[in-house]
Structure 1
């Protein structure tokens, strides 16, 4: 059974062009940014429609469960398809199909008395489409830009992603109020169609696939070999599990901080708004630093470990505060440290994992990232109601410190990665 090794990822052709002169990268990044921006309009419109139509929080949680279920049920299979197909073709097909499905959601919202089950079914299909597009995009980056420019490319993708989400959510509510939910969702469909056209305008992505290797194994053998690769390689396994676990602690802590801001810090609207803005701002600053340093950055594995360890005292300090103003710079620092943990982990995966396996690796990463944060939020909510938000926040800080120290001590390959 063929299982590419870490070293198989290294001999990719280097792209000597500047990143912004790389036509494929610019087109793919533009399409990704547009679809992310449009999806925020969709999210706001769908949430408001469900609440206005049903008045039930259960139906809101059903949407979250749909995304979790589709990730768990189809994530690894979708990643295997990504590794067996032309990724450019898969990306524009997934965006086109999602555009059509989203138009169906807009139609359902516009027509009175449409059964909500139809909206849920269409939402599930849109989610499944994303399972193909997202791993195809992330697995293609190293082939599009070359190994030497992966760090810079990932930095720009993360900055574009956060900017699109912040602006999309900020404008989405106003757009829905002015034009209605169905029109806002049509904007998302148009964004998907534009993204598909931009990917179609790309030239064929460079490929490291071997026809002989692809013909050796069946689909199920490919899926099994991908899971075996992740499980047997302790270095890759630690990175695949690290990002979702850190994300779980991070998202759950944010929820607890919001509760503390209202119940214990008595934050006014301006302070609460600043708290909400600090996380994406800190993340973008961190991404900017990673972009600025680029190839001059050394000991990236140690930086990941150091950022994880540094987040622990920040969480514990936040749990001890009694007012909002001292918390704001610490929350900004949290976003900054979080960007180093997640972005550098993603960069290392792109460099160390064979491109032939990156679809399966990133789909597994996406599945774990969709499941663990909601679990953490449920646990944090239960503990906050039982003990107050400060005690579980302290517990999360201690747990994160223990995990960080264990990784630092026992994962030498990550600690010494340059």
Structure 2
């Protein structure tokens, strides 16, 4: 009995993990609080689907660029320090939003979102690479499940409040709260002291050599390739979902900012339930390639099916129910991908692997928004949803084929 409960007790008493959890959730709270407010502002100022797409593009493109080039930096310097720098920079960005609001220019908002996205491109892979330094390897599946679930909870609270408070408070007040969350997040990170061996690269290794080592690690590992692919497919689909989600609520069912808040709350509920279910599952099951293949493929398939179905109806409350069910499969994809990379990538290159994963997945995410900027005003929400569902069906089948080969290779090696 003691051995079965030890992983849970270890995480509950792990001061570093709790501080990382608090810092992540505060950063997420600030991001989503700001996002809901900014979506509302841009829609009021422009009323255009293309401009909503540009809003997301301005956040994602700098993240892709930064994560593409700074992978070696994340493996060279302490990950905790890089995260603190990123949080403090985003405090200043939050204050910049306050100053720009009176000008009513969406393009100035896009500029600030771009700067914020650049520092997020540093923060996110550094956070993922830091996790194995504060968590034991046998606790990684549950730890990642808890982190994903708490992230969804932060999203639920922040988007729900954001939708409600956008009609009660000024945008300046909300952006000041956004800045404050990043400041407190940085303070949480200051007190983290990694307990696992640090895996920073040797100073004499050149930047080009570090990039090459990271690419070779991805090239030779089917496990890592599959983990990155499921993120790429999910992000491509969700970029489309984020746009049609806003269009459906604001145009099809005319629910306004309150509807956006309730819709994001439904999204968060689904992600929390999915993350809790996966955490409970891995409390009793060991993480294996077979378990990964089954759950990752199923998650992609059902994510596409229920998202497609939700946009075929005109009833807002049925839509919310289907959104909850669709998002049950969001967190498992993130957890399975992260755990696979942490399990199969060498510690000294994990920063580069996570940076590459972020860059590739966000490139697909960015591509989806670019596509929506072109077709968002030309096709109906229902038609776009059908196309998105077809893509996820293809992605799940391709992942199944890749991961079957992965399991077969593992079986051959064991023999």
Deviation at 1:393, TM superposition (A): 5.8
1:252-310 deviation per Cα after TM superposition (whole angstroms, max 9, x unaligned): 4787799999999x999999999866553333222112222334214643334333247
Give unmatched runs, 5+ long, in structure 1: 1-13
Q: 2:208 aligns with which of 220, 223, 227?
A: 220
Structure 2 partner of 1:104: 96
Mean alpha-carbon deviation: is it higher for 85-94 or for 314-323?
A: 314-323
Mean alpha-carbon deviation: is it higher for 380-389 or for 360-369?
A: 380-389
1:30-70 deviation per Cα after TM superposition (whole angstroms, max 9, x unaligned): 11111211222222233333344455554443332222321
Structure 2 partner of 1:182: 172
Mean alpha-carbon deviation: is it higher for 173-182 or for 88-97?
A: 173-182
Structure 2 CA distance for partners of 1:306 and 1:277, relative to 1, 3 Å: farther
- 1:168 and 1:16 map into 2 onto residues whose CA distance is 27
Q: 1:71 aligns with which of 60, 63, 72?
A: 63
- 1:126 and 1:260 map into 2 onto residues whose CA distance is 27
- 1:414 and 1:280 map into 2 onto residues whose CA distance is 37
Deviation at 1:346, TM superposition (A): 1.4
Q: 2:183 aligns with which of 193, 200, 214?
A: 193
Over 6 Å off, 4+ runs: 14-17, 253-264, 266-276, 320-330, 413-417
- 1:299 and 1:31 map into 2 onto residues whose CA distance is 26
Structure 2 partner of 1:306: 294
Structure 2 partner of 1:157: 147
Structure 1 partner of 2:3: none
Deviation at 1:166, TM superposition (A): 1.3
Deviation at 1:113, TM superposition (A): 3.3
Residue 402 in 1 paired to residue 400 in 2? no
Q: What is the RMSD of the two structures over their aligned residues, measured on CA atoms? A: 4.1
Structure (1 or 2) with the larger CA radius of gyration: 1
Question: Normalising by structure 1, what TM-score?
Answer: 0.79
- 1:238 and 1:309 map into 2 onto residues whose CA distance is 14
Matched residue pairs, number?
Answer: 400
- 2:103 and 2:393 map into 1 onto residues whose CA distance is 50
Structure 2 CA distance for partners of 1:415 and 1:278, relative to 1, 3 Å: farther
- 2:386 and 2:129 map into 1 onto residues whose CA distance is 40
Residue 85 in 1 paired to residue 73 in 2? no
1:11-47 deviation per Cα after TM superposition (whole angstroms, max 9, x unaligned): xxx9997112111111111111112112222222333
Question: Normalising by structure 2, what TM-score?
Answer: 0.80
User: 1:102-141 residue pairs with structure 2 within 5 A?
Assistant: 102-109=94-101, 112-113=102-103, 117-141=107-131
Residue 339 in 1 paired to residue 327 in 2? no
- 1:177 and 1:323 map into 2 onto residues whose CA distance is 25
- 1:59 and 1:412 map into 2 onto residues whose CA distance is 44
- 2:158 and 2:259 map into 1 onto residues whose CA distance is 22
Structure 2 CA distance for partners of 1:415 and 1:286, relative to 1, 3 Å: farther
Mean alpha-carbon deviation: is it higher for 386-395 or for 76-85?
A: 386-395
Deviation at 1:399, TM superposition (A): 1.6
Structure 2 partner of 1:21: 13
- 1:272 and 1:36 map into 2 onto residues whose CA distance is 17
Question: Are 2:271 and 2:328, in contact at CA under 8 Å, matched by a contact in 1?
Answer: yes
Residue 363 in 1 paired to residue 355 in 2? yes
- 2:79 and 2:383 map into 1 onto residues whose CA distance is 48
- 1:143 and 1:254 map into 2 onto residues whose CA distance is 33
Give unmatched runs, 5+ long, in structure 2: 1-5
Question: Are 2:50 and 2:377, in contact at CA under 8 Å, matched by a contact in 1?
Answer: no
Q: 2:54 aligns with which of 57, 62, 67?
A: 62
Mean alpha-carbon deviation: is it higher for 383-392 or for 144-153?
A: 383-392
Mean alpha-carbon deviation: is it higher for 306-315 or for 149-158?
A: 306-315
User: 1:256-335 residue pairs with structure 2 within 5 A?
Assistant: 279-298=267-286, 300-307=288-295, 308-309=297-298, 312=301, 332-335=324-327
Deviation at 1:239, TM superposition (A): 1.6
